[in-house]
Amino acid sequence: MKQRGILVRDFSHYYGQTRSLNKINLDVYRNEILGIIGPARSGKSTFLACLNRLNDLIPGSRVEGKILVDDRDIYGPEVDVVALRRKLGMVFATPVPLPLTIYENIVFGVRLLGNNNRRELDLLVEDSLQKAGLWNEVKDRLHSSALKLSGGQQQRLCIARVLALKPQYIMLDEPTSGLDPISTMKIEDSLRSLKKDFTIILVTNNTKQAARVADRTAFFLMGELVEIDETPVVFTRPSDRRTEAYLEGKFG
């Protein structure tokens, strides 16, 4: 039996009066890649934002129900939001390196904790870049601006930056939507090798990507979870006709 890391129970989310997620129930197992697919505005990104409470930044955001991460209610009264965000690292659709050097981008989160040990930071930078598959391309220019990297490199830098925080979960929000096929392939390779150390939630609007890398796939539609199952099951014999229609490209 696989261990469950995140439990979502009857979870709903509202932007003001508009309901963006409706009674979601799902589990995320440890060391799996959970793919989340669905058309635009189906609530996929909102769901990720709710998992590390980035939705707090949006005025008028409101939640119902529960999300337990490692058995703790993340909307409970005594939650350390900053620690939560370190535990659930987030990679965004558009790569957003901070306007700093490559090196400083990666140690940003660690420096916030007050760690300024040069040797440790150097090791951390190398380790994170290795895991994200970027080390060989940038090892000679760690101290040049991260904004000069190509889109694919920037995205892998963002993954490395999240890894440097030593999170337990990595959430990626359409990480390859703006990238060419080769960069996409490199990122998918990194994800597969990261699986043994991390639990990965991958939101994607490219269903084929979910088919390639996800162990299980969840299908969101208009704020509802239509179905969630082992990836081959979802793609070959989905239990819901809407899933079938979406995968066949009938809408979305």
Q: Which residues bind another protein (CB under 8 A)?
A: 52, 54, 57, 59, 82-83, 85-86, 89-90, 92, 94, 96-100, 108-109, 112, 145, 158, 161-162, 165
d(CA 86, CA 132): 17
Closest CA to 150 of 178, 192, 130: 178
d(CA 205, CA 29): 22
CB closer to another protein out of 94 and 239: 94
Minimal distance in Å, beta carbon 169 to another protein?
12
CB closer to another protein out of 37 and 157: 157
Minimal distance in Å, beta carbon 108 to another protein?
6
Judged by DSSP in three states, 128 sits in helix
Per DSSP (E only), the strands in 30-87 are: 33-37, 61-69, 72-73
Give the residue carrying structure tokens 């043994």.
196
Minimal distance in Å, beta carbon 242 to another protein?
31
CB closer to another protein out of 81 and 123: 81
Minimal distance in Å, beta carbon 233 to another protein?
32
CB closer to another protein out of 38 and 167: 167
Minimal distance in Å, beta carbon 59 to another protein?
8
Q: Measure Cα distances from 85 to 51, 56, 65, 114, 220 in Å.
A: 9, 12, 20, 17, 23
Minimal distance in Å, beta carbon 52 to another protein?
7
Q: Cα–Cα–Cα angle for 102, 108, 114, nearest 5°?
A: 140
CB closer to another protein out of 109 and 133: 109
In one-letter notation, the amino acid at residue 159 is I
Q: Measure Cα distances from 228 to 24, 142, 158, 194 in Å.
A: 11, 41, 28, 22
Over the Cα atoms of the chain, what is R_g? 18
Minimal distance in Å, beta carbon 202 to another protein?
16
CB closer to another protein out of 159 and 225: 159
- Dihedral sign, CA of 175, 181, 184, 188? positive
d(CA 59, CA 20): 14
CB closer to another protein out of 100 and 185: 100
